[in-house]
Amino acid sequence: MPASQSVALPLRGQFRSLYTQLKRARLLERTPVIFCEGDSWFSTPLAMNLLDWIVSPAPEDEERGVPLLGNGGLFFRAEHSGDHASRNPDDPKRSMFVRDNIDDIIGWYDQFDFDMILLSAGGNDFVDDFLKRTLRGQTSLSAEAAFQLVLDSGKYETVRKAYALFLQAALAVKPDTPILAHTYDHPQLIGRPGALTPGNIGVAALLKKKVGPWIGPHISAVVNADPGKTPDERRRFVRMLIDGFEKNVLRELKNDPRFGGRFDYVDLRGTLTGESQWFDEMHPTEAGFHALATKFRGAIIGKLPAAKR
């Protein structure tokens, strides 16, 4: 496999076939094999997403000396846009870290010598219907008061337990394989849907009715005493949601002795500070994802076996 060239396969039969070919050719000794599970940050079709840029870096990345997967890589991609980390009460089938899905994933994962698991999960758990239920009937809340309702809901604990269920299952079959997740960055376009035009996403714009918003319509209760500062107060509340996910889910899991230091995450917060880097409330533009991928890729390489970097 040429340097920097990777293959990503979403179908199990295709993955098994290529894996077998690489094994027969003794190329697995230097080819990273990576299992991916996640949400739209790994799977959105509207642009090159975070995982797309890992699998297929831009030519100029190599010219600029950006760290790449030196011998390419074989990625199995199980991610789906809209999936929740914990059980989704409104659509249980869109749930990643629940027993039925975990059993299916780990049964497949255990059949191959994966070098790493990449996760992108948890963002959907804290928006849309969750916010609608949590803030229903509330008025004139400061960012702190609204965030306290999120804390009181127990959602962070629910998501953390769901993650832990998956980590325990994965590490039970491959205790030495690292598992790497990421934070989300702080959104800049609260309340703004994605602009679906042929100019920015191609002909897919003619088929989709809308993309978002998932936050803005549900946080009207978050206001500031100075009406002119209410948009900033809502943005501050959303920052708290993102920071709370890092503190109460990812950081707790990283420090949990049950996982023996095998779980880690990349902190992507503060990378995309300009509105032009965001496509909508929750998703960066293609260029935004590219900037995030540069950080994420370095952490991935650092956790691979030395012969596969």
- d(CA 126, CA 128) in angstroms, rounded, equals 7
Angstrom CA distances, 56 to 31, 50, 183, 304, stand at 15, 10, 21, 18
Does residue 53 form part of some domain? Answer: yes
Q: Is the full-model pTM beyond 0.85?
A: yes
Query: Phi and psi for 3 in degrees, rounded to 5?
Result: -55, 140
Residue 165: the pLDDT is 98
CATH number for the domain harbouring residue 168: 3.40.50.1110
Number of structural domains, the chain? 1
Question: Within the chain, how many helices (H) and strands (E) appear?
Answer: 12, 6
Does residue 129 form part of some domain? Answer: no
- d(CA 254, CA 249) in angstroms, rounded, equals 9
Does residue 239 form part of some domain? Answer: no
Does residue 149 form part of some domain? Answer: no
Give the domain range for residue 61: 6-123+154-204+246-308
pLDDT tens-digit profile of 108-150?
Answer: 999 999 999 999 999 999 999 999 999 999 999 999 999 999 9
Does residue 147 form part of some domain? Answer: no
The type of residue at 33 is: V
Does residue 217 form part of some domain? Answer: no
Does residue 148 form part of some domain? Answer: no
Residue 206: the pLDDT is 40
Does residue 257 form part of some domain? Answer: yes
Give the pLDDT band of residue 203 (cuts 50, 70, 90): very low
User: Are 147 and 247 contacting, i.e. CB atoms less than 8 angstroms apart?
Assistant: no
CB half-sphere exposure, 260, CA atoms < 13 A: 11
- d(CA 169, CA 175) in angstroms, rounded, equals 10
